[in-house]
Each structure stands twice: as C-alpha cells, then as structure tokens.
A and B are shown apart, each in its own frame.
Chain A
Amino acid sequence: MKYSYYPGCTLKTKAKELNNYAIRSAAALGIEMEEVENWQCCGGVYTASTDEIATKLSSVRALAQARDKGQDLLTLCSACHNVIKRTNNEILNNEDFSMKVNNYMGSDMQYHGETKVVHYLEMLRDVVGFDTLKSKVVNPLKNKKIAAYYGCLLLRPGEVMAMDDPENPQIMEDFIKAIGATPVIFAQRNECCGGYQTLNDKSIAQSRSEKVVSSAVKQGADCIITACPLCRYNLEANAVTELPVIYFTELLAQALGVKEVQ
C-alpha cells in the first residue's frame, strides 16, 4: 500500500521525531509514504468562514496531487489533518466553495474532492489493523500506563472528521493496547491544550495544559501520547505538573523495534 504523505511544516523542523518514527514504522508494516511534492503549509488552523478561499488552496493542491497519483492522502499532524480533511469536505459538500476554489486553481489542477484523507492512526486501524500490528510488535510496552491525549483537532467537528466517537474515542486506546501497554482514560483527553494562546495569553495555555496533565496524572498515567506538536509543546512547556509527553509514533517505533536506525 502506498500513500501520498503530507508532513506539514512542524514535522520537518521541531517535530522531526514524529515524522521519522512514523515513516520507519510504516515501512516495517509494509506501508510506503510518498511525500507530496512541493507541499505548502496548511495554515495551521482551518478558518471556519464561508468566504475564505485563499487560505485553503495549499490543502487543495496537496489533495489534487494525491488524486493525480491515485493515492489516498496520509496525514500525521493533527492540525494538518484537520485543515486538509475539512477543506476536502467543504469541496465535496459546498458547490459554491468548490467553484470558487477551482477558479483559483489552474485548469490542469481542477479538484472536486476525489481524494480520501486518512490520518496515520486511521491507517493503522483500518488498513494495517490493530490485530496485525499487535502481531508485529517485538518490544511490547508491558506495564506502561499510557494516557492518550486527542486534543480538539483530531476529532472535531465529529461529523466531518469522522475518525471516532468525538466524545468517547477508542482509536488511540486501541493503539496503546496493540503495542502492549495499558491505556488510561482521563476526562480531559478531548479538551483543548490552549493551542496558539501560548503566543497571545500564556496564562490561558498554562491553565489549560495544567488541567490536562493533572487529569492524566490523577488517573495514574506514566506518560501522555499525542499526535500534535503544539499539544506536546503546551503540555510540556506550559503545565506545572510534569509528565513525559511523547509522540505516539515514537512508541510505535519502539514497539516495532525500529526506533534506532540500523
């Protein structure tokens, strides 16, 4: 199975591990990730207004490229996934938006929502399968209690993202079980970390992050996993309570025995 892969800006800089471990693990699972050529930044957040076109074009270009290759578009960063999936959804369901977008696009790059956007976790669940994943684990992470932190972008809006139940998600917990660890469910797992407020009003990011981390600690977690670099930053830098925050791909690579480059 071969995917077009959209890494996004952070995964090429501050969050290289998230990216590298993902690619290495995928290879171990027989999945090829072919980076979209000349991808442009997704913009970080999806602007939920009906009249913003230009800010969504970078997503459309990536989607069109994947379509031309006949591949699904794989994402990893929660923010990129949110932006691209919602843009794709808007093109599919909003004729007016689709028309305006295509007016901006070249005549050789008309796009009408043909591509399927797949998050790395969905790929693990639906294509690889958690049972298969489990069978390929060489270093099961036994005795580790892991809190899965979804944040807001991976699941919402639930009807568009359609990854899992937005209030009672299972996918990351199932992932944790597959790599041999024990999931810890905590109430703040789908509440915001404070996001970009760290640049506007740090106190907000601090109080949000503290709430999330302390909630996980109270449920007895050894660490938190996430798919989002900004979540990781906030939970590490802005929470008072300290708890290791790790990208889920790092644990995946560890479990599959491909963490260290051979």
Chain B
Amino acid sequence: MQRIGVFVCWCGTNIAATVDVAKVAETLKSEPGVVFATDYQYMCSASGQEIIKNAIKEHNLTGVVICSCSPRMHEATFRKTVQAAGINPYMLEIANIREQCSWIHKDKEEATEKAIILGRAAIAKVHLNAPLTSMESPVVKRALVIGGGIAGIQTALDIADAGFEVDIVEKQPTIGGKMAQLDKTFPTLDCAACILTPKMVDAGSNDKVNLYTYCEVDKVEGFVGNFKVTIKQKPRYVDATKCTGCGECTTKCPSRKNPNEFNMGFDNRGAVYIPFAQAVPKVATIDPDDCIYMKTGKCGLCAKVCTAGAINYEQKEEFITKEYGAIVVATGYNQIKPTEFEEYGYNNYKDVVTSLEFERLMNAAGPTGGHLLRPSNGKEPKKIVFVQCVGSRGQSCRDKSYCSKICCMYTAKHAMLVKDHYPDVDVTVFYIDVRTPGKNFDEFYRRAVEEFGVHYIKGMVGKVEEEDGVLKVQASDLLANAQIHMDADMVVLAAAIEPDKSARPLATMLTASMDTNDFFTEAHAKLRPVESPTAGIFLSGTCQGPKDIPETVSQASACAAKVIGLLAKDHLLCNPCVAHSNETLCNGCSTCANVCPYGAITYEDRLVMDKGVRETRRIAVVNEAVCQGCGACTVTCPSGAMDLKGFANRQIMAEVDAICR
C-alpha cells in the first residue's frame, strides 16, 4: 500500500475562488492510502515546494498527488520537488483543477465536487505508479535551420558562434529571404541591404555554417538529439563548385521574357540567373521551364560563354542525409496576392500594387533604379493612396483573422519615404487603427504625420476604379461621417501576410503542431515562445506569427540560445514513459511492430519461465531509447503483454473507475 500525500493548490484565487480547496483536501484525506492532505496558496512557490518536501519526509510518503494547474504547466517543477525529497519523480500525479475545473466552472459546489473527483482519479493512479528511471540518449552536436531569411541566418550565426556546426536549408537559390527585397527598414530608416548583406556574407563564409541553397527538406526521422534528415538538392544545372558568379551567362541568355521574382515581376530575367547582386552563394541557376536548351535541345549559349565550364544540363536532383541534434524552423512568410479583393482593382489596374511590390519600386536596386514611377505609364505619381488591413483582421472567407502586425509601420515608412524623395506628392493613408506598439514606433508614425504631412484618414476604401488613367478612390471618412472620392495615381495595398506554403507539409514531417492559420504553435504562449511542443524543434521568426525585423532578430537569437542549451548537453534524459513487453504474456506475434512509428520493437528468442515451464519463446523487445511512448502497440496487442509505463492499462482503468465511482 502506498503512503500518499495530497497537496491542493489555491493558485491565489485562480483555484480558491471557485473551488473549496480546504474541503477538497479534507475529503481526499479519507481516500485509501492517503496519509496526509493539505492546501496552500501557491504550491509551485519555494515555500509551497518546501511543504511538499517536508511532508514527504515527515510522513514517509511514497506517492504524491498535487491538485493544481495543468500538468503541462508544472509537472516538471513538481517532479524535481519530490525527487529532491528522495522519492522517484514518477511517483507524482497532478490533478488539473485549474484549467479543467476552476477556470471553466462558476458554481462553487459543482467545481469543488469535480475537483474532488479529479483528485480521486489521480490518487487511484498513483496507487499503481511505479518508480521509473530515464534512459539516456546521446546528442548529435549539429543543428539544422530550415529557411535562410533574416531569422534563419541570425539563428545559425548565433549557434555557430557558440562553436556548434549548423546547416541552413533554403529553397531559393540564395539566402536572404524577404528582407533582401526591402528598401529601408523602420523605425530607423536604415537600408535593409546594408544591414542584411554583411550577415549573409558571414553565413556564407563561417566555417561552422553550411549552406544548402536551392534545397528542400525531404524527410525527417528520429527524435530530439538524434534527428535524421534527408535534404533534397534541386538541380541548378550549374555546378556550384565551379561557378564563379561572374554573371556572363546571365547577360548572354537569349530567353529574356521570364518575370523576375525578386523584383515582383516588374522586370524580366534570363533563364539562367543570379537573383540579385549580393546573392549568397553567388552562383547562377537555370530555370528549366524557361531555358530554351532544356525545352528544345537547341541553344546552349550559356555553356559556350562559361569559361569555368560550370553549366551542366544533365544535373539531377540529389539527396543528402545528415544527423542533427536540433531543428530550427524559420520558414517565414509571404504577402498574399489580393486577387480576391477586386473592389481595390488589383487584378485589372497596374497602378494598384501591394506594399512588397511598392518596396521594389522604391528600391535603388529595383526595376526603376529607385525612381518611383507608375507601372502603367512610367510617369511619376502625384497622388498616392495607401490602404491598410487588406485581408487582415477579418472574418469572411477571404480574410485572415489575425492582424498582420507589420503593415501600420511599413506604411508609415513608405509614406515618409515618398514624402522625403518627392515632397510634392500627396500621400493619404486609410486606416482602421494605427498600431504602433514598439520602441520608437509611435514616434515614427507621428513624424510621418507631423513632419512629413502624410494625411491619415480613419476609414476604409470601398472601391477603386480607373477612369482615363486615373484611379478613382471611394472611401469612408468616419470622423467626418462622409463618403469621400479622391483621385490617385497609385494605390498601395497593405495586404495580409501569411505563413509560407511549405510550412504545413514541413510541420507534418516534424510532427510539430500548427494553428488554424498555419503558424507554428509554441510550447507555451508566454513562457516557451521559441520552442515547439515537439521536443528538439525550435521556432524562429514569422513562421510562429507575424513579426517585424527587430522582433524577428531577437526571437532568432532567443531560439539560438535554446538550441545551444540543448547541443551543449552530451546526453539527454529520455522519456521513461515508454512501452514495455511482459515476456510471459507476449505471443511474439509481431502485431505491435506493425504499428510502431519508430521501429522501436524487435523480436528475440528468449528463455522464458511461465507457469512452471521454462521454454524458448519469440518475445517483443522495446528499445527504450527509441520508443517515444505513444502507446499504439499497447492497444494492438491482444494479450495485453505490451503496456505503457506511466500510462499502464491498470492505471488508466483505475482513473476510469475513480471518475465513474
């Protein structure tokens, strides 16, 4: 018989306001095996933990039940507490009487009764708990960063700085990501390229950092500390080891009508191209869909002009398999194409552009050399209208439900830059709210209004139509309770941002969870913001939620710190709640191995003593370092030989019985 102590937490008033904690402790005291029960304001506090430790010693407790917040919150804390007092950390069970009781019920009597039942279930389970010891597994001291934008680069550089090897997988031919396309950055207006390219060069030249550009993650196996990842190298049709990046091929390529993705399609590139001047690695890539030789077998001009002999039309995709201790997701975002919002005329009018397109039109390295010209006629615009919240903050099927967060600030930036370069241009911003919570952000926005004379009008644009080459904007001015009509030469849409499309299949490969918007879920919204709930998977940048550059970089470094903390360990303690096969019950039928996602089950011929007979039998054996404890095998096993430590058949049935009592 266990000697069980029950500790009921008030969690200040979080629990105590709706659950009569004293009554819970008092009632649970009379449960079989319970020799001590008490309640306290904050069990997780130092003094609360002291109470637990003292009670364990004083009452010779063998098992502990804590009625408190979710085990997902403090299970690890309390395991350490009971271990410090000398009992096995797995002799602890937590009854979740906060998230699953006090916070959702209003009636005190009802909530108290439920808390008692949840406590009983935990007690019933502890009776059947057994001490568990964690196995150790080694840590591969190398990290993988998926995505080579500013987030991925920063994380990789920080990890490399700590002395660990790190690989970056980037699906584009160069690292740099969205930031490389930007003109200036808020709130300081320094040039994006000026601050990004040194980091790109660092990443390219750091001998701890390997770049896998034009690559994709193909397959992920393993678990924290021991991931095995297959990377697909897409064929560039250019030998990256030979290419000097001279660019001769890109200027001679006769296939010239291919929209240049880097410039948002405002100009064209050759079939063989280097995305932009500062690309890292500076290596040419052939797009086989555009290449005349690849399509017709005639041309081959690039191969003729390449003195390095780097062109290789026969290149095939390759697969590289490497092991990693940690994986960082930094897959970033894209701006939506507002094609479904035709009231703004994006499909039909060239002068209606998205803000990312506008960045290129303002950028000195962009298609217009930094001169802001109307895409329709190449003339300077005189009046520009900016529209905020296009596709963000909505509930209809074409909208994103979230705030894209960066638009208010970059629109203020755009407005300011336009006024700075062309003081005569009339700039109007239509907004719902101006959201500027960041250091020096509101000051930045106020400068746009007060110093640069940008007009901010509270209200949305309802319709844009073109008439005689002029955009007619119909909008609300809510403060004036008026519908206003104004002419514009350009309309810039602050379209919503969304996670990159590659994120969803990647999440499936990583078994990392995502929210309904396809942003990666963090392990805890406040306390573990850069980790995925899946151990060994870390989140950097906008793959986790909309972020601006300062925030992305700080999260990227935080993420690196977490990765370094993991890679610094030689061994990891495995989850001891793993499957175990009872050798006298096992039929050796292999059904369990059929459903094991990790290949953790093998079979051995063993001498078994059963019912007084000693015989050789085929027996399932679980590799405890590989088993992750899902329990699929336990249900498929007809004889019940396979059971899960910590969640044993009898333990779960005891909980069922206690709840249904």
Residues of A within 8 A of B (CB): 159, 165, 167-168, 185-188, 191, 215, 218
Give residues of chain B (448-488) contacting chain A, Cβ–Cβ below 8 Å. Answer: 463-468
Contact B347 A218 (CB under 8 A): no
* Nearest chain B residue, comparing its CB with the CB of A167: B342
Please indicate the chain B residues that have their CB under 8 angstroms from the CB of A165 in the complex.
Answer: 340, 342
Contact A159 B397 (CB under 8 A): yes
Tell me the bound Cα distance from A187 to B341 in angstroms: 13
Q: Which of B340, B397, B466 contacts A167 (CB 8 A)?
A: B340
* Nearest chain B residue, comparing its CB with the CB of A169: B342
Please indicate the chain B residues that have their CB under 8 angstroms from the CB of A218 in the complex.
Answer: 467-468
Contact B397 A188 (CB under 8 A): no
Contact A168 B339 (CB under 8 A): yes
Tell me the bound Cα distance from A112 to B343 in angstroms: 36
A-B contact pairs, 13 of them (CB 8 A): A167-B342, A168-B340, A168-B342, A168-B348, A185-B348, A186-B465, A187-B345, A187-B464, A187-B465, A191-B463, A215-B465, A218-B467, A218-B468
Please indicate the chain B residues that have their CB under 8 angstroms from the CB of A168 in the complex.
Answer: 339-340, 342, 347-348
Q: Which of B339, B340, B397, B466 contacts A187 (CB 8 A)?
A: B466
Contact B465 A167 (CB under 8 A): no
Tell me the bound Cα distance from A21 to B468 in angstroms: 36
Tell me the bound Cα distance from A11 to B340 in angstroms: 33
Tell me the bound Cα distance from A20 to B348 in angstroms: 35
Tell me the bound Cα distance from A191 to B343 in angstroms: 10
Distance to closest chain A CB from B472 (angstroms): 8
Tell me the bound Cα distance from A159 to B397 in angstroms: 9
Contact B463 A167 (CB under 8 A): no
Tell me the bound Cα distance from A187 to B467 in angstroms: 9
Distance to closest chain A CB from B598 (angstroms): 44
Please indicate the chain A residues that have their CB under 8 angstroms from the CB of B345 in the complex.
Answer: 187
Distance to closest chain A CB from B261 (angstroms): 23
Residues of B within 8 A of A (CB): 339-343, 345, 347-348, 397, 463-468
Q: Which of B342, B348, B464, B465 contacts A188 (CB 8 A)?
A: B465
Which of B341, B342, B345, B348 has the most CB atoms of chain A within a 10 A radius of its CB? B342
Please indicate the chain A residues that have their CB under 8 angstroms from the CB of B341 in the complex.
Answer: 167
Distance to closest chain B CB from A213 (angstroms): 14
* Nearest chain A residue, comparing its CB with the CB of B468: A218
Please indicate the chain A residues that have their CB under 8 angstroms from the CB of B347 in the complex.
Answer: 168
Tell me the bound Cα distance from A226 to B467 in angstroms: 22
* Nearest chain A residue, comparing its CB with the CB of B343: A167
* Nearest chain B residue, comparing its CB with the CB of A185: B348
Distance to closest chain A CB from B491 (angstroms): 13
Tell me the bound Cα distance from A167 to B343 in angstroms: 6
Distance to closest chain B CB from A168 (angstroms): 4
Please indicate the chain B residues that have their CB under 8 angstroms from the CB of A188 in the complex.
Answer: 465
Tell me the bound Cα distance from A185 to B465 in angstroms: 11
* Nearest chain A residue, comparing its CB with the CB of B396: A159
Please indicate the chain A residues that have their CB under 8 angstroms from the CB of B342 in the complex.
Answer: 165, 167-168
The 10 closest A-B pairs by CB, nearest first: A187-B465, A167-B342, A168-B342, A168-B347, A167-B343, A218-B467, A185-B348, A167-B341, A167-B340, A165-B340
Tell me the bound Cα distance from A218 to B343 in angstroms: 18
Distance to closest chain A CB from B394 (angstroms): 13
Please indicate the chain A residues that have their CB under 8 angstroms from the CB of B397 in the complex.
Answer: 159
* Nearest chain B residue, comparing its CB with the CB of A187: B465
Distance to closest chain B CB from A176 (angstroms): 16
Which of A159, A186, A187, A218 has the most CB atoms of chain B within a 10 A radius of its CB? A187
Tell me the bound Cα distance from A191 to B462 in angstroms: 12
Please indicate the chain A residues that have their CB under 8 angstroms from the CB of B466 in the complex.
Answer: 187
Contact B463 A187 (CB under 8 A): yes
Please indicate the chain A residues that have their CB under 8 angstroms from the CB of B463 in the complex.
Answer: 187, 191
Distance to closest chain B CB from A156 (angstroms): 12
Tell me the bound Cα distance from A236 to B160 in angstroms: 74
* Nearest chain A residue, comparing its CB with the CB of B463: A187
Distance to closest chain A CB from B344 (angstroms): 9
Distance to closest chain A CB from B213 (angstroms): 36
Distance to closest chain B CB from A150 (angstroms): 12
Please indicate the chain B residues that have their CB under 8 angstroms from the CB of A215 in the complex.
Answer: 465, 467
Please indicate the chain A residues that have their CB under 8 angstroms from the CB of B340 in the complex.
Answer: 165, 167-168
Tell me the bound Cα distance from A215 to B348 in angstroms: 14
Tell me the bound Cα distance from A185 to B468 in angstroms: 14
Please indicate the chain A residues that have their CB under 8 angstroms from the CB of B464 in the complex.
Answer: 187
Tell me the bound Cα distance from A102 to B341 in angstroms: 39
Tell me the bound Cα distance from A167 to B397 in angstroms: 13
Please indicate the chain B residues that have their CB under 8 angstroms from the CB of A159 in the complex.
Answer: 397
Please indicate the chain B residues that have their CB under 8 angstroms from the CB of A185 in the complex.
Answer: 348
Known contacts A165-B340, A165-B342, A186-B465; 11 additional CB pairs below 8 A are A167-B340, A167-B341, A167-B342, A167-B343, A168-B340, A168-B347, A187-B463, A187-B464, A187-B465, A215-B467, A218-B467
Distance to closest chain B CB from A230 (angstroms): 22
Tell me the bound Cα distance from A9 to B464 in angstroms: 36
Tell me the bound Cα distance from A93 to B342 in angstroms: 28
* Nearest chain B residue, comparing its CB with the CB of A165: B340
Distance to closest chain B CB from A103 (angstroms): 33
Distance to closest chain B CB from A221 (angstroms): 14
Please indicate the chain B residues that have their CB under 8 angstroms from the CB of A167 in the complex.
Answer: 340-343
Tell me the bound Cα distance from A187 to B345 in angstroms: 8
* Nearest chain A residue, comparing its CB with the CB of B339: A168
Distance to closest chain B CB from A246 (angstroms): 23
Tell me the bound Cα distance from A256 to B498 in angstroms: 47
Distance to closest chain B CB from A102 (angstroms): 30
Tell me the bound Cα distance from A186 to B348 in angstroms: 9
Tell me the bound Cα distance from A187 to B463 in angstroms: 9
Please indicate the chain B residues that have their CB under 8 angstroms from the CB of A191 in the complex.
Answer: 463
Please indicate the chain A residues that have their CB under 8 angstroms from the CB of B467 in the complex.
Answer: 215, 218
Please indicate the chain B residues that have their CB under 8 angstroms from the CB of A186 in the complex.
Answer: 465
Distance to closest chain B CB from A165 (angstroms): 7
* Nearest chain A residue, comparing its CB with the CB of B341: A167
Tell me the bound Cα distance from A191 to B347 in angstroms: 17
Tell me the bound Cα distance from A134 to B377 in angstroms: 35
Tell me the bound Cα distance from A214 to B137 in angstroms: 76
* Nearest chain B residue, comparing its CB with the CB of A188: B465
* Nearest chain A residue, comparing its CB with the CB of B472: A187
Tell me the bound Cα distance from A167 to B340 in angstroms: 7
Tell me the bound Cα distance from A185 to B467 in angstroms: 12
